[in-house]
Amino acid sequence: MGRDNTELTENGKKTRDLIFQTAVRILKEEGYDKVTVRRICKESNTSNGSFYHFFKNKDELMAYYYTRSADDFLEGQEETMKNADLYHQMLICYRWYIRYTADFGLDFCINFFNSNNRAIDPMYMYNAFYEISKKCLHEKAGEIREGYEADQIAKELCILAKGIIFDWSSSRGSYDIEEVAERMFSIYLNGVIRRADE
C-alpha cells in the first residue's frame, strides 16, 4: 500500500479494517459508485483524517482487498506452495488471484480495472500477488527457461491477470473467467518455465 502499516497499533488496525469492511459492505449492497470516502466515514463513524491516514483514495482502499487476500492465500496455501514446483506455484497463486477478484463481483472489476487506476500498477504501488510470484520465481530461478528472467515473468503474469480480468469485465462476465484464466496461464507458463516431467 501507499502507507507503511507495519507499525500500526491494535486500534489503528481496527480502524483501518472497519473502514475497509464498511466499503466492502456498501460495494456489495449498492455497487462501486456508491462507495465514497464521505459515506464510508459516516457509516463507519470515523473521520476523513482517519481515512486518509490509511488510504490515499478510494482506489487504494479497494487495492487493500488484495493485500488482505494475499495474507489469506499465504496462510491457507503455505504447505501446498512449499511442496510445488515453480510452474504449479504460479498456477496456484494466480488461480487464487482470479477467483478472489471474480468473487468481489463484476461491478468491482468493471470499475477498478481501468487505465485511470494507478493502484493496479505494481510499479507504482505495492501489489501483494506480484511480490509473491516474484519471490517464488527468484527462489526457483533454476526452473526458468533460458532467455527469461524472474522479474520479467512476474511482470508479464501480472499483465496477463489484469488483461483477463479486463476482458471478462468488458464482456460483462459472459464466460467462465476461472476456466479461461487456467488455460491462458498454463500456455504462458509452459513457455517460460521448465516442468519437472520434461
DSSP state at residue 145: P
- pLDDT, tens digit (0-9, with 9 covering 90-100), for 110-127: 888 877 777 677 665 567
Question: What 3-state class would DSSP assign to 23?
Answer: helix
User: What is d(CA 175, CA 156) in angstroms, rounded to the nearest whole number?
Assistant: 23
Q: Which of 34-38, 46-50, 60-64, 98-102 has the lowest mean pLDDT?
A: 60-64
Q: Which of 27, 30, 8 is nearest to 17 (CA)?
A: 8
Q: Which of 45, 116, 38, 100 is nearest to 68 (CA)?
A: 100
In whole angstroms, what separates CA 87 from the centre of its chain? 19
| 128-139 and 86-103 helices, crossing angle to 10° | 170
Model-wide pTM > 0.75: yes
Residue 103 has pLDDT above 90, yes or no: no
- pLDDT, tens digit (0-9, with 9 covering 90-100), for 83-99: 999 999 999 999 998 99
